[in-house]
């Protein structure tokens, strides 16, 4: 400054320096003002918090401290693994440092409560009196021998070994056969807690695995929530309707279930909310499904499939007599002495008013009958305590179903097949006729592609073996063939009608009627082989109900017949075949050369 001689220049430089110093002073003043404001705010909050703490102590202690101390006290008596205890202690220490006014405190508190309420090493003692277990299962459910035997085997191993990885059972069968209620009976028999979780329509993966704690409103998955309610680590856990799981942009729940339902992996099940491995290996998981076709193959591979077929009329009669009639009578305020339903009337209700594999419709029908009886007793009408068919018709209206019975026919071209439906078995009349024409094959009766192919295969076989069957080969060139399956409103498909179509066609072309009181089921090939088919139990019972005396089956289906109780198939004769020639020989009574 002193070196500058020009006064104007010197003044200009002084102004620049003063302006710079003024800006520095202004910035310093702003910082001091802000710091002073922050300190005042902190002092104010500290002062208010100290006042609040003092008031709370005067009123009877700090609720935050009391709450956390209560959790610590509960943890002292809790049975859980050492590593879980360490995580709990760490979370408690963290919760003590958090201000109870902020949202993170409530999240931390909910997490600690979940850890305490989960039954880590708490199990119920199994009932190893196997005879008593068998009695409970037999009393609660008639039939279902496969499932009962599997449960008895599991208990026997558990009794001898003391501990084992619980199997994952999957009960597959039509609605109303008692899959879910069987799970409840198993829990009662074992002396375990019972948990049921419906998976129908579930499409969010977080429902199984839980949400991460970083999200607002985060919750554990329904698996852990159910165990928390059960307060036991070894309940019987029913996963209902596993075939009806959904899938959308929120994830695939069936993939999330892979870990839950794998006996090799579920000892370290990871829930996103809990964020600690939880042991599910002691849980007896029982899944239920109506169909296996919609279950993911990888999930299906992890489960032990037990098929539960529909009940026969005899089994339904027993179930109604033992369980449904007493239950419905009690629900409608009737005593056992006031009403009795004879076996013949039960069978009439089953055949005329229900068409199902299970017993739900039968249960509803019996409820309608009991309401009618209750009205009679309440209005003091004349009633001798015995339900008759007349009372049933009055209560339920006219008969809903007319079970088709076998009617002997001497007309060539009519054969009786056996069909499986989702509500049980049925007999199926297949009609074939010939007329002058140009060798055209006409198929009617609402047939599916597989059934149409069976008809074409049968005709091709007859054409190829026309000489040995004694049919003029030229007949096919000037004859139209029409195959019809009655009840055209009902869709029909499957390969089971193969040998029936072969018999009907041969009968029509030879002008020779089929042997009376004979039914058949089996798939055919162009080589002349007869292949096995499914639904044998339902088909055979349908044949017996309809008055059939003889049934033609594939030799490989013999094992299915042997599994049916002898009293259900008494009076039926079975003819086992391997070739189509044997079918024609037995059904039409002539030898093929």
Q: How far is 518 from 512, CA to CA, in rounded Å?
A: 15
101 and 14 both lie in a single domain? no
pLDDT value, residue 387: 85
Looking at the annotation, which residues are catalytic? 496, 539
User: Exposed (0-12), middle (13-18) or buried (19+): which is 182, by Cβ within 10 Å?
Assistant: buried
* Residue 428 within any structural domain of the chain: yes
Element at 288 (helix H, strand E)? strand 284-289
Phi/psi for 500 (5° steps) reads -70, -45
Phi/psi for 101 (5° steps) reads -80, -20
Indicate the residue among 16, 35, 61 that finishes a domain.
61
Instruction: State the distance between the two ends of the chain, measured CA to CA, in whole angstroms.
Output: 136
- Domain harbouring 344, CATH code: 1.10.8.60
338 and 300 both lie in a single domain? no
221 and 257 both lie in a single domain? yes
221 and 142 both lie in a single domain? yes
pLDDT value, residue 551: 93
Q: How far is 60 from 2, CA to CA, in rounded Å?
A: 76
* Residue 124 within any structural domain of the chain: no
Q: How far is 189 from 139, CA to CA, in rounded Å?
A: 11
- The β-bridge partners of 16 are none
Contacts 24+ apart (CB under 8 A), 313-318: 313/347, 313/350, 313/351, 313/541, 313/545, 314/541, 314/567, 314/568, 315/142, 315/143, 316/346, 316/350, 316/354, 316/359, 316/362, 317/343, 317/346, 317/347, 317/350, 318/142, 318/143
* Residue 528 within any structural domain of the chain: yes
Q: Which two tokens stand for residue 25?
A: 């002073």
The residue ranges of DSSP E strands in 546-592, in sequence order, are 550-554, 573-577
What angle, 0 to 180 degrees and rounded to 10, lies between the N-to-C axes of helices 130-140 and 145-161?
Answer: 160
* Residue 553 within any structural domain of the chain: yes
545 and 475 both lie in a single domain? yes
Where the chain has pLDDT below 70, the residues are 56-57, 59-63, 162-164, 166, 249-250, 402-408, 422-424, 488-489, 590-593
Q: How far is 301 from 254, CA to CA, in rounded Å?
A: 12
300 and 367 both lie in a single domain? no
Task: Quickly tell me which residue has 């609720």 as its tokens.
Answer: 63
Dihedral class, residue 407 (left if φ above 0, else alpha if ψ from -120 to 50, else beta) = beta
Indicate the residue among 307, 325, 356 that finishes a domain.
307
- Domain harbouring 545, CATH code: 3.30.230.10
Q: Which two tokens stand for residue 264?
A: 């090799």
Q: Which two tokens stand for residue 414?
A: 């009519």
pTM, 2 dp = 0.72
Q: Which two tokens stand for residue 336?
A: 């056992």
557 and 427 both lie in a single domain? yes
14 and 85 both lie in a single domain? no
Task: Quickly tell me which residue has 């009976």 as its tokens.
Answer: 185
Q: How far is 277 from 262, CA to CA, in rounded Å?
A: 15
57 and 68 both lie in a single domain? no
Q: How far is 53 from 66, CA to CA, in rounded Å?
A: 13
* Residue 474 within any structural domain of the chain: yes
Contact 429, 486 (CB under 8 A): yes
What pairing do the DSSP bridges indicate for beta strands 414-421 and 518-520?
A: parallel
State how many domains the chain has: 5
pLDDT value, residue 85: 87
pLDDT value, residue 519: 92
> 86-115 b/e with 16+ CB inside 10 Å = b?
ebbeebbeebeebebeeeebebbbebbebb
Indicate the residue among 46, 61, 76 that finishes a domain.
61
**CA-CA distances (angstroms) from residue 298 to 109, 254, 271, 295, 420?**
38, 9, 21, 9, 29
Task: Give me the torsion for CA of 298, 243, 350, 318, rounded to 10°.
Answer: 60
* Residue 437 within any structural domain of the chain: yes
Note down the domain range covering 337: 313-396
pLDDT value, residue 423: 62
282 and 420 both lie in a single domain? no
278 and 208 both lie in a single domain? yes
Q: How far is 365 from 567, CA to CA, in rounded Å?
A: 27
Phi/psi for 418 (5° steps) reads -120, 130
* Residue 487 within any structural domain of the chain: yes
* Residue 408 within any structural domain of the chain: no
147 and 243 both lie in a single domain? yes
Q: How far is 84 from 181, CA to CA, in rounded Å?
A: 36
């Amino acid at each position: 400054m002193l070196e500058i001689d020009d006064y104007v220049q010197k003044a200009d430089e002084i102004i620049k320096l003063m302006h710079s110093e003024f800006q520095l002073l202004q910035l310093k003043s702003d910082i001091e003002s802000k710091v002073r404001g922050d300190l005042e705010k902190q002092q104010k909050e500290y002062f208010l918090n100290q006042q609040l703490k003092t008031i709370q102590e005067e009123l009877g202690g700090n609720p935050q401290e009391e709450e956390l101390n209560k959790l610590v006290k509960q943890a002292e008596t809790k049975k859980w693994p050492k590593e879980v205890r360490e995580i709990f202690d760490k979370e408690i220490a963290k919760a003590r440092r958090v201000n109870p006014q902020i949202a993170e405190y409530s999240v931390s508190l909910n997490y600690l409560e979940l850890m305490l309420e989960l039954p880590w090493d708490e199990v119920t003692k199994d009932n190893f009196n196997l005879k008593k277990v068998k009695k409970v299962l037999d009393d609660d459910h008639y039939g279902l021998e496969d499932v009962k035997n599997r449960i008895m085997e599991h208990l026997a191993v558990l009794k001898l070994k003391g501990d084992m990885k619980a199997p994952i059972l999957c009960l597959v069968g039509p609605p109303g056969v008692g899959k879910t209620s069987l799970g409840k009976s198993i829990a009662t028999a074992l002396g375990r807690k019972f948990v049921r979780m419906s998976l129908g329509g579930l499409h969010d993966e977080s429902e199984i695995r839980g949400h991460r704690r970083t999200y607002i409103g985060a919750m554990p998955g329904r698996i852990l929530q159910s165990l928390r309610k059960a307060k036991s680590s070894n309940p019987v856990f029913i996963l209902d309707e596993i075939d009806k799981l959904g899938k959308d942009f929120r994830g695939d729940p069936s993939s999330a279930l892979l870990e839950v339902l794998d006996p090799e992996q579920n000892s370290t099940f990871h829930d996103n909310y809990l964020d600690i491995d939880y042991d599910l290996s002691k849980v007896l998981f029982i899944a239920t499904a109506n169909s296996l076709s919609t279950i993911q193959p990888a999930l299906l591979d992890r489960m032990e499939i037990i098929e539960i077929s529909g009940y026969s009329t005899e089994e339904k009669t027993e179930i109604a007599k033992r369980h449904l009639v007493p239950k419905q009578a009690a629900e409608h305020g009737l005593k056992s002495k006031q009403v009795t339903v004879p076996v013949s009337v039960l069978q009439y209700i089953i055949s005329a008013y229900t068409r199902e594999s299970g017993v739900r419709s039968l249960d509803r029908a019996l409820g309608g009958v009991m309401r009618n009886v209750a009205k009679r007793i309440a209005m003091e009408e004349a009633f001798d305590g015995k339900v008759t068919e007349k009372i049933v018709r009055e209560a339920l209206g006219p008969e809903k179903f007319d079970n088709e019975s076998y009617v002997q026919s001497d007309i060539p071209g009519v054969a009786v097949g056996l069909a499986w439906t989702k509500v049980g078995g049925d007999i199926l009349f297949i009609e074939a006729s010939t007329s002058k024409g140009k060798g055209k094959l006409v198929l009617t009766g609402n047939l599916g592609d597989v059934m149409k192919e069976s008809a074409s295969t049968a005709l091709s076989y007859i054409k190829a073996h026309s000489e040995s069957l004694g049919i003029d080969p030229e007949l096919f060139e000037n004859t139209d063939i029409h195959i019809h399956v009655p009840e055209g409103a009902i869709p029909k498909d499957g390969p089971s009608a193969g040998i029936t179509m072969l018999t009907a066609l041969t009968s029509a072309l030879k002008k020779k009627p089929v042997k009376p009181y004979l039914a058949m089921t089996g798939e055919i090939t162009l080589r002349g082989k007869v292949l096995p088919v499914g639904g044998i139990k339902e088909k055979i019972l349908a044949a017996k109900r309809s008055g059939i005396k003889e049934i033609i089956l594939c030799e490989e289906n013999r094992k299915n017949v042997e599994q049916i109780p002898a009293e259900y198939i008494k009076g039926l004769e079975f003819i086992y075949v391997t070739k189509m020639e044997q079918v024609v020989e037995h059904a039409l009574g002539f030898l093929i050369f």
